[in-house]
């Protein structure tokens, strides 16, 4: 029977804003509304809120408050890192050489591609393994192509949004540094599930987006290790140490800090619960859907909340529609690509055949997901796949 409320299993696309986060943000819309750049008491109050948020985020990331730049989202943070390094290199009469994979989010891969197309940077694609992971050896070999005239930049995501694979960031960053290259990681999916200690990770830049960890949409940050020089992506006022001009969005920044604080409060318990629910999904789907394939890494090396599959003989959009009508909100991979029947770049980059890649499904659990939700999915999904396969077969007869 269809559940009383729709079951949301698309937490990799976005999460609901935690009511405690909303509560923290509320005073900064109409009560404490000053412009943080203003010199009077209204401005100072707003500036105080931003600096408290920055201090808290710096503690959680284990960095200095001066190493945090507030942005409008994860996409902007990624763009700032790649474009900032490329433009900085050009301003010094050099050229950036970007090393990245086609399994990255388009915020990175399309940015790298565009910079290369416009001849603003050189680009080397790194080939991930079949489970989506990038080995330090692959990076080591590629970096031997870095010339002394180039500024090297490696960009590898912490955890993949479509297939959940967690990358060995600390080991990769070490290889990059041994070759004198900078290391950026898109940590948008990792936040709220994995440690974001930038010292332990050894990264130079790290991108976050609040709406993936029960914070508001439209706010993110870029951690920039002291000493990293980025050409300013956005010029204007001197906000964010002139790295990112534009009046601060005070409520959203306050909300992001509160959301990350809350994410750390119950991290081990929540991750254990996610892992248990995810494993029920993975085992249940592989057992009950004929020919189902798990995409991405095995359980121990994938995001705790992330299950992703490929089904032969299925068109993902038809399956998503079927599930939606049955009260299950899922995704075929990246939310940005929903409605686009092209096989995903990520799935192709890990070697999936295009027809199999078209039949992808991503289920990501969250704080509100229950065992009953998983049981319902496990009874609904196999029937849906069977029906769609039968329809397709009938069309081919």
Catalytic residue annotation: 336
How large is the angle between the packed helices 267-288 and 371-396, nearest 10 degrees?
30
What is the Cα–Cα distance from 129 to 284, expressed in whole angstroms? 25
Neighbour-count burial for 149-167, b at 16+ CB within 10 Å, e otherwise? ebbbbbbbbbbbbbbbbbb
- Least Å from the CB of residue 267 to ligand PLP: 19
**In angstroms, rounded to a whole number, what is the distance separating the alpha carbons of residues 211 and 216?**
5
Q: How far is the CB of 105 from ligand PLP (least distance, A)?
A: 4
In whole angstroms, what separates CA 270 from the centre of its chain?
Answer: 19
Residue number, 96 or 157, with CB nearest to ligand PLP: 157
CA distance 40 to 357: 57
> Is residue 165 part of the contact set for ligand PLP (CB under 6 A)?
no
In which region does residue 227 sit, left (phi positive, over 0), alpha (psi from -120 to 50) or beta (all else)? left
Among the listed ranges 73-81, 133-141, 308-316, 365-373, the one in contact with ligand PLP (CB under 6 A) is 73-81
What part of residues 203-242 is at the interface with ligand PLP (CB under 6 A)?
Answer: 209, 220
Instruction: Point out which span in 50-58, 182-190, 244-252, 389-397 binds ligand PLP (CB under 6 A).
Output: 182-190
Residue 75 binding ligand PLP, by CB under 6 A: yes
Region of 27-35, 183-191, 233-241, 300-308 interacting with ligand PLP (CB under 6 A): 183-191
Burial class (CB in 10 A: 0-12, 13-18, 19+), 226: exposed
Tokens 């993975």 map to which residue? 282
Whole-angstrom distance, CA of residue 332 vs CA of residue 343: 10
The site that binds ligand PLP (CB under 6 A) totals a number of residues, namely: 13
Closest approach, Cβ 164 to ligand PLP, in A, equals 11
Lookup: tokens for 261: 């604080």
The least CB distance from residue 204 to ligand PLP, in Å, is 17
Question: What's the min distance (Å) between Cβ of 5 and ligand PLP?
Answer: 24
Site for ligand PLP in 90-149 (CB under 6 A): 105, 107
Contact call for residue 188 and ligand PLP (CB under 6 A): yes
Torsion of Cα atoms, 354 then 357 then 358 then 362, to 10°: -170
Binder among 61, 73, 103, 263 for ligand PLP (CB under 6 A): 73
Contact flag: residue 249 with ligand PLP (CB under 6 A)? no
Residue nearest to ligand PLP (CB): 74
Q: How far is the CB of 7 from ligand PLP (least distance, A)?
A: 20
Calpha distance 347→102 (Å, rounded): 9
Question: Binding to ligand PLP by residue 11, rule CB under 6 A?
Answer: no
Binding to ligand PLP by residue 157, rule CB under 6 A? yes
Q: Which of 161, 165, 185, 380 touches ligand PLP by CB under 6 A?
A: 161
Radius of gyration of the chain (CA): 22
Residue 282 to residue 210: CA distance in whole angstroms: 27
Question: Is 18 an interacting residue with respect to ligand PLP (CB under 6 A)?
Answer: no
Per the CB < 8 A criterion, the answer to whether 130 and 350 are in contact is yes
Could you tell me if 159 and 129 are in contact, meaning their C-beta atoms sit under 8 angstroms apart? Answer: no
Report the residue number, 215 or 284, with the smaller CB distance to ligand PLP: 215
Enumerate residues 306-335 that contact ligand PLP by CB under 6 A: 335
Contact residues for ligand PLP (CB under 6 A)? 73-75, 105, 107, 157, 161, 186, 188-189, 209, 220, 335
């Amino acid at each position: 029977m269809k559940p009383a409320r729709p079951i949301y299993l698309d937490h990799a696309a976005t999460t609901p804003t935690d009511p405690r986060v909303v509560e923290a943000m509320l005073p900064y819309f109409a009560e404490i509304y000053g412009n943080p750049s203003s010199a009077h008491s209204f401005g100072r109050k707003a500036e105080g809120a931003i600096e408290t948020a920055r201090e808290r985020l710096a503690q959680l990331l284990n960095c200095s408050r001066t190493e945090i730049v507030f942005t409008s989202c994860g996409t902007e943070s990624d763009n700032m890192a790649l474009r900032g390094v490329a433009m900085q290199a050009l301003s010094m009469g050099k050229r950036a050489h970007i090393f990245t994979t086609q399994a990255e989010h388009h915020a990175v891969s399309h940015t790298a591609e565009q910079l290369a197309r416009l001849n603003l940077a050189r680009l080397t694609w790194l080939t991930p393994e079949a489970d989506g992971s990038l080995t330090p050896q692959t990076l080591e070999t590629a970096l031997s192509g870095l010339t002394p005239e180039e500024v090297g930049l490696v960009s590898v995501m912490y955890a993949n949004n479509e297939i959940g694979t967690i990358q060995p960031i600390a080991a990769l960053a070490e290889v990059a540094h041994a070759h004198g290259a900078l290391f950026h990681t898109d940590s948008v999916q990792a936040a709220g599930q994995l440690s974001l200690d930038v010292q332990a990770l050894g990264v130079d830049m790290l991108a976050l987006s609040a709406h993936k960890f029960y914070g508001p949409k439209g706010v993110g940050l870029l951690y920039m290790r002291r000493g990293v020089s980025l050409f300013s992506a956005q010029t204007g006022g001197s906000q964010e140490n002139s790295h990112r001009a534009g009046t601060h969005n005070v409520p959203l920044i306050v909300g992001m800090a509160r959301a990350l604080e809350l994410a750390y409060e119950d991290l081990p318990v929540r991750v254990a619960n996610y892992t248990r629910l995810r494993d029920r999904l993975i085992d249940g789907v592989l057992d009950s859907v004929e020919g189902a394939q798990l995409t991405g890494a095995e359980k121990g090396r994938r995001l705790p909340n992330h299950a992703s599959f490929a089904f032969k003989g299925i068109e993902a959009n038809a399956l998503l529609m079927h599930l939606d009508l049955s009260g299950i909100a899922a995704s075929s991979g990246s939310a940005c690509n929903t409605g686009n029947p092209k096989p995903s770049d990520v799935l192709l980059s890990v070697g999936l055949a295009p027809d199999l890649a078209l039949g992808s499904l991503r289920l990501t659990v969250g704080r509100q997901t229950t065992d009953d939700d998983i049981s319902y999915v496990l009874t609904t999904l196999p029937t849906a796949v069977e029906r769609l396969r039968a329809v397709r077969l009938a069309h081919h007869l």
